Amino acid sequence: MGLITLISDWGLSDYYVAAVKGTIYRYHPDAQIVDISHQIQAYNSYEAAYVLKNAYGNFPEGTVHLIGINTEESLDNIHTVAYYKKHYFIGCDDGIFSLIFDDEPESIFELNIPMESSSHTFSSRDRFAKAAAHLASGGSIEELGSIRDSIVSKILFTPPINDNALKGMVIHIDNYQNLITNITKSDFDNFIKGSKFEISFRTKKYRIFKVHDSYDDVVYGEIVALFTGNDILEIAINKGKAASLLGIHKKDPIVVKRM
Amino acid sequence: MGLITLISDWGLSDYYVAAVKGTIYRYHPDAQIVDISHQIQAYNSYEAAYVLKNAYGNFPEGTVHLIGINTEESLDNIHTVAYYKKHYFIGCDDGIFSLIFDDEPESIFELNIPMESSSHTFSSRDRFAKAAAHLASGGSIEELGSIRDSIVSKILFTPPINDNALKGMVIHIDNYQNLITNITKSDFDNFIKGSKFEISFRTKKYRIFKVHDSYDDVVYGEIVALFTGNDILEIAINKGKAASLLGIHKKDPIVVKRM
Amino acid sequence: MGLITLISDWGLSDYYVAAVKGTIYRYHPDAQIVDISHQIQAYNSYEAAYVLKNAYGNFPEGTVHLIGINTEESLDNIHTVAYYKKHYFIGCDDGIFSLIFDDEPESIFELNIPMESSSHTFSSRDRFAKAAAHLASGGSIEELGSIRDSIVSKILFTPPINDNALKGMVIHIDNYQNLITNITKSDFDNFIKGSKFEISFRTKKYRIFKVHDSYDDVVYGEIVALFTGNDILEIAINKGKAASLLGIHKKDPIVVKRM
């Protein structure tokens, strides 16, 4: 046993993914390795954090998550393992941990196990894989390095609220071209408080006055707003491609108004 | 043990695949999970059925196949588990089961295990994953719900035959741009009955008078017809890209005539 | 136990990968299967060899590597299993083995286990998968066929050296658009012997006078040369896309001169 997940921007055409997996198996032959995604946009820690934040909680307690993006170590960016909600996270702390967690992790350690090769370019294989194998095979986090006080803080844009408007934005466009916002169900409910509302986009042409339970609550080709399995507001077109049909891009505003 | 395969239109850039796998591992830590494909065209049950139909029989008996496409439940589209040729299939019955099976499955059950979350948008994670874990860990199909009489029927275009012609079509273009038709070896043999024949396409320019055993039976760049490992007629160009070189698309006709 | 890796040009949208995995599990239910890549350019044995050469050494001894590219057997291209540095390699010997290995393998056998189907088009499923399952479950290589004397020789372009210049080239562009050359650290060091040097490209505009240890040794957007985790010279732009920004393609020259 010993579940290890991988997330990275390595793509699937190269030897990078396999090199990391081979190394894990060398140190822990019984590991179960799961790919979260290797198609994160190059160097985009925000996208990696979004995907991992929504994936990790589905895994059993004790799962080890190896984060293979922006892994070059520096004085500011420390190779780190954090323990949070009974999951382990290994990566280079450029602030990505703070984007994944909702509050401070229970423990934070600086990885100081030796690198496998003289090169500094492939930390995921040369250091993180060993640390992941160590944890997944039952080793303690304390053995991996020295304690750190806190993680680097990066701020996610949480939607500002004033008297009349909750101003969110599109933070992700998924494979169906559904628009994922940064508006949570609890933020939405707290703001609306049962009154009537309007959800509007960059273009004035489309407005939504209702949140549905499922895509099929509207006919094919119709716009629908709903809260997804992770309680985040999503704008979609039933069986259609919302992003291109509505001309909406990442970071475009999604505004909720009380009426 | 307990093999579970996944097929879907989720893509590989999002958290969806990982969320389903994590959930399966939570309910069945020893599961072996195999991706069939997550790059099925969005909402295309026909393509998913084609790929799964050609894949599943290679797996050991008892394998569980989770179908993550068009999963929204409705009065017409029931969440279903079917047992067919000693394999389990879990999905939303929009007719996709009838496209995968050649005849009626041995048993059909409506899934009525509770959903994991209040949302209706991610049935693969919130219901199918639990059902798959249950079956893969040795649980019985009867415990998953109530018996159904029959599956929804969707019709695949089987090639019409008249006195002189067997009129098939291209149903799939693979990664090499080989043209996969809907003409089976037995349909072809029954129609030809040993006589001479001609295979023609949309354009009159190319015709084929022979079916070969392997791509290399013709020189590089030459057109070749052959029956693949699944006994389906395929038109290819040896080491070349038939679809773009011949200008042929999905659903284009492939006609066999006796001479 | 029993690790089996797969590398191929099948892509991820078809049933080919799953058919091979299912077959392996049928013959060896406890196999651990790892994808190296299925996105190798169609028919490109050179690219497959590059990726596998850089991946395989990370895996534990005894791992079986199944090579699913250009697999059609002929009198010249023999279905082969080779044992090299305590790893097994199964594929069709069009010269690809010679591109992966640095010297002769310890043993070479012609596979003569029967094909699974009457078709000749899917050897990876119908023959290689069975051979891989046999080896991964502890079977001996001798049982798989008859001994061969040598493998087919294909030549990689090793960089020619004259008095003043080491003339390498770009052999691979990775997911970050980093330029991977065919210049090894030992070739470079032997040529330079501690003197000053200049690395130049097709365009005279850019030149490099130093090899760094890591990408971050230069500021964002700056060109950097370094030896990667596999001791191969790489030209990159820190957090940028070297290939498109410098206008450099595969097979373009990278020249090192002593000054």
Q: How far apart are CA B243 and CA B254, in angstroms?
A: 13
C74 chain-B contacts, CB cut-off 8 A = 216
CA distance C51 to chain B (A): 19
Interface contact flag, B54 C15, Cβ < 8 Å: yes
C39 chain-A contacts, CB cut-off 8 A = 12-13
In a 3-state reduction of DSSP, which class is residue C45? helix
Interface contact flag, C21 B38, Cβ < 8 Å: no
Nearest CA in chain B to A238: B43
Interface contact flag, C55 A126, Cβ < 8 Å: no
Q: Which of the residues C3, C20, C21 would you substitute to probe the B interface, choosing the one with the greatest number of B C-beta atoms within 10 Å?
A: C21
C119 chain-B contacts, CB cut-off 8 A = 213, 226-229, 231
In a 3-state reduction of DSSP, which class is residue A100? helix
CA distance A20 to chain C (A): 8
Q: How far apart are CA C22 and CA C29, in angstroms?
A: 9
Nearest CA in chain B to C76: B216
One-letter amino acid for residue A66 of the chain: L
The C residues from 51 to 110 touching B (CB cutoff 8 Å) are: 72, 74
To which H or E segment does residue A166 belong?
strand A165-173
Q: Which of C1, C55, C176 is closest, CB to CB, to A22?
A: C55
Strands C87-93, C64-68: pairing is parallel
To which H or E segment does residue C234 belong?
strand C232-237
B54 chain-C contacts, CB cut-off 8 A = 15, 19
CA distance C37 to chain B (A): 14
Inter-CA distances, B114 with A212, B64, B120, B130, B139, Å: 20, 19, 11, 9, 16
pLDDT, tens digit, 9 for 90 and up, residues C37-96 = 999 999 999 999 999 999 999 999 999 999 999 999 989 999 999 999 999 999 999 999
Mean pLDDT of C158-170: 89
pLDDT number for residue B116: 65
Inter-CA distances, A53 with A44, C19, C30, C47, Å: 14, 33, 32, 35
pLDDT number for residue A124: 95
Q: Which chains touch C (3 or more CB pairs under 8 A)?
A: A, B
- What percentage of chain B reaches a pLDDT higher than 90? 85
Determine contact, residues A153/A207, Cβ cutoff 8 Å: no
CA–chain centroid gap for C116, Å, is 28
C5 chain-A contacts, CB cut-off 8 A = 18, 22
Determine contact, residues B241/B215, Cβ cutoff 8 Å: no
pLDDT, tens digit, 9 for 90 and up, residues B26-44 = 999 999 999 999 999 999 9
Low-confidence ranges of chain A (pLDDT < 70): 1, 116-118
Q: Which of A17, A22, A122 is closest, CB to CB, to C229?
A: A122
Our CA dihedral for A211, A215, A216, A219, rounded to 10 degrees, sits at 80
Interface contact flag, A13 C40, Cβ < 8 Å: yes
C128 — phi, psi (to 5°)?
-65, -40
The answer, for A28 touching chain C at a CB cutoff of 8 Å, is no
Q: How far apart are CA B31 and CA B133, in angstroms?
A: 7
pLDDT number for residue B203: 75
CA distance A42 to chain C (A): 7
Interface contact flag, C26 B227, Cβ < 8 Å: no
Nearest CA in chain C to A24: C59
Count of pairs with CB atoms under 8 A, one residue in A, one in B: 98
Q: Cβ–Cβ contacts within 10 Å for residue C44, how many?
A: 13
Rg of chain C over CA atoms, in angstroms? 21
Q: Is C235 left (phi over 0), alpha (psi -120 to 50) or beta?
A: beta
The A residues from 205 to 234 touching B (CB cutoff 8 Å) are: 213-216, 226-229, 231, 234
Interface contact flag, C239 A16, Cβ < 8 Å: no
pLDDT number for residue B118: 66
pLDDT number for residue B164: 86
**Could you tell me which residues come within 8 angstroms of residue C48 by beta carbon, excluding any fewer than 6 positions away?**
C7, C8, C9, C40, C67, C69, C96
Interface contact flag, C15 B51, Cβ < 8 Å: yes
Q: How far apart are CA B45 and CA B9, in angstroms?
A: 9
Mean pLDDT taken over chain B = 93
**Could you tell me which residues come within 8 angstroms of residue A97 by beta carbon, excluding any fewer than 6 positions away?**
A80, A82, A89, A91, A105, A151, A152
Q: How far apart are CA A193 and CA A258, in angstroms?
A: 9
User: Is residue C107 over pLDDT 80?
Assistant: yes
pLDDT number for residue C117: 67
C11 chain-B contacts, CB cut-off 8 A = 174-175
Q: How far apart are CA A43 and CA A37, in angstroms?
A: 14
| Range from A168-177, B59-68, B130-139 carrying the lowest mean pLDDT | A168-177
Name the DSSP letter for residue A128: I
B110 — phi, psi (to 5°)?
-85, 125
Q: Which chains touch A (3 or more CB pairs under 8 A)?
A: B, C
Mean pLDDT of B241-247: 93
pLDDT number for residue C178: 95
Determine contact, residues A118/C230, Cβ cutoff 8 Å: no
The verdict on ipTM greater than 0.90 is yes
B175 chain-C contacts, CB cut-off 8 A = 9-11, 13-14, 16, 42
pLDDT number for residue C27: 97
The B residues from 117 to 136 touching A (CB cutoff 8 Å) are: 117, 119-122, 125-126
**Higher-confidence residue: C26 or B115?**
C26
CA distance A184 to chain C (A): 32
Q: How confident is the model at residue B109 (pLDDT cuts 50, 70, 90)?
A: very high
**Tokens matching residue C112:** 């003569």
A119 chain-C contacts, CB cut-off 8 A = 213, 226-229, 231
CA distance A79 to chain B (A): 24
pLDDT number for residue A116: 64
Among A221, A255, A226, A251, residue whose Cα is nearest residue A238: A221
pLDDT number for residue B249: 93
Interface contact flag, C213 A119, Cβ < 8 Å: yes
Interface contact flag, A60 B26, Cβ < 8 Å: yes
CA distance A157 to chain B (A): 20
Q: Which of C10, C13, C121 is closest, CB to CB, to B228?
A: C121
Nearest CA in chain C to A73: C216
| Range from A200-204, B199-203, C238-242 carrying the lowest mean pLDDT | A200-204
pLDDT number for residue C118: 66
pLDDT number for residue A87: 98
Count of pairs with CB atoms under 8 A, one residue in B, one in C: 97
A1 chain-C contacts, CB cut-off 8 A = none
Q: How confident is the model at residue B230 (pLDDT cuts 50, 70, 90)?
A: confident
Q: Which chains touch B (3 or more CB pairs under 8 A)?
A: A, C
